[in-house]
Copies of this chain bind each other. A is one copy, B any other.
Amino acid sequence: MPFARAAIIGVGLMGASLARAIRKNSLARAIAGCGRSRDNLDYALGKGYVDSITHDPVEAVMDADLVVLATPVDTLEAIAASIAGNLKPGALVLDVGSIKGALVARIQSVMPDGVEFVGCHPIAGSESAGAAASVDGLFVGTECLITPTGTNTDKAVNRARELWEAIGSRVRLMDAMEHDELLGLVSHFPHMAAYAMINAIEERSEGAIALSGAGLKDTTRIAMSPASLWREIGMMNRKNIIPVLDGFISEINKIRNCLEQDDARGLEMLLRKAETRRRAIEG
C-alpha cells in the first residue's frame, strides 16, 4: 500500500468521502479520523470509514505518512502549526481546501524538514456537511487541482497526484494564485450569486420562493451550502470575487437595458450567447 497510516483531520463531507476512497482503493493500511464533534466521529468509526478516532490532531498524525487537512480553510494554518512538531519524517501533508493563494506557502513554511505540504483542491462536494453526507466515489471523474510551489519536490507532488488519480480524479497542476482567480470565477462567485438571488426574491416577496419550480431550485441549490464555510471562502478570496461580482452586475445591466429599451433582438443575442456557452459544457 502507498501509505501505512493516513490521518484525516476533519471527517466531514470531504474528509469522510476521502477516507472511504482511500479505503476502497487500498491506499492506506489504517486511517485515523480527527474532529471536534464526537457524534460525527462515532458515525465515521461506526461506518468503518476510519479505524480510530480522536479529538486531538497531534495524536491523529502520530506515525501517519499521509495527513489530510480537511477542516474549514480558515483553520488550516493553525492546525498545520499545531501538528508540525509531531509529523513523521517523510510524511506527505495535503489539504482539500477551496482557497490556495498565499495560504499554501504559509502552511508550507511551518512544516518541519523532511515533511512536505502539497496544496490540493478536489472539485467535488455538495451543499451538505458531515460524515453522514459523505459519498462513495465522490472523486471519481472529477478534477483535482494541485498547486505546487517552488518549495515542493517533484516527488511529493507526484505522490499527491498518484493518490488522487488512484481514487478516480484527473489531476491538473496550477499556480496557487491562478487557482484562486479561477475558482473565484467558477465556484465562489456562483455561490455568492445564489445567496444573493434567494435574498432578492425574499426581500421582494416573503415566502415567494415556496412556489419555485425545478429551475429556481437548481439555480439556488448551492445557497444551502453552510454560510460559515462560504463566509470564510468569500473573505479569503475577496480580492478575486469582487471584480467578478462587478462584471456580473454589468452583464445583468445589459439584459436589464434590453428589457427597458424594448430591445428584443439585443436581448435574444445576450441570451443566445449564454445558451450556446452553457450548452458547450454539457457532458
**CB-nearest residue of chain B to A209:** B281
Contact A195 B225 (CB under 8 A): no
Contact A219 B217 (CB under 8 A): no
Contact A228 B197 (CB under 8 A): no
CB distance from A282 to the nearest CB of B (A): 7
Identify A231's interface contact among B235, B260, B268, CB under 8 A: B268
Contact A222 B218 (CB under 8 A): yes
Looking at A4-12, A45-53, A119-127, the stretch in contact with chain B turns out to be A119-127
**CB-nearest residue of chain B to A203:** B247
Instruction: List B contacts of A255 (CB < 8 A).
Output: 192, 195-196, 234, 245
Contact A218 B219 (CB under 8 A): yes
Instruction: List B contacts of A282 (CB < 8 A).
Output: 224
Contact A198 B242 (CB under 8 A): no
Contact B186 A208 (CB under 8 A): yes
CB distance from A246 to the nearest CB of B (A): 7
Contact A221 B223 (CB under 8 A): no
* B-contact bits for A258-269, CB 8 A (1 contact / 0 none): 111010100110
Contact of A102 with B by CB under 8 A: no
CB distance from A136 to the nearest CB of B (A): 16
| CA–CA, A57 and B221, complex, Å | 41
* B-contact bits for A228-255, CB 8 A (1 contact / 0 none): 1011101100100111111111111111
Looking at A19-27, A34-42, A80-88, A270-278, the stretch in contact with chain B turns out to be A270-278
CB distance from A129 to the nearest CB of B (A): 11
| CA–CA, A249 and B227, complex, Å | 20
From known contacts A248-B197, A278-B224, infer whether A259 and B235 are also in contact, taking CB-CB under 8 Å. yes
Contact A218 B216 (CB under 8 A): no
Instruction: List B contacts of A142 (CB < 8 A).
Output: 213
Instruction: List B contacts of A231 (CB < 8 A).
Output: 264, 267-268, 271
Identify A262's interface contact among B209, B217, B235, CB under 8 A: B235
Contact B234 A259 (CB under 8 A): yes
Provide 16 A-B residue pairs closer than 8 Å at the C-beta atoms, listed in order of the A residue: A123-B213, A187-B212, A187-B213, A190-B216, A192-B255, A195-B271, A202-B274, A203-B247, A218-B219, A219-B220, A226-B275, A228-B272, A230-B271, A235-B262, A242-B260, A248-B252
Interface residues of A (CB under 8 A from B): 123-127, 142-143, 181-182, 185-187, 189-205, 208-228, 230-232, 234-235, 238, 241-256, 258-260, 262, 264, 267-268, 270-275, 277-282
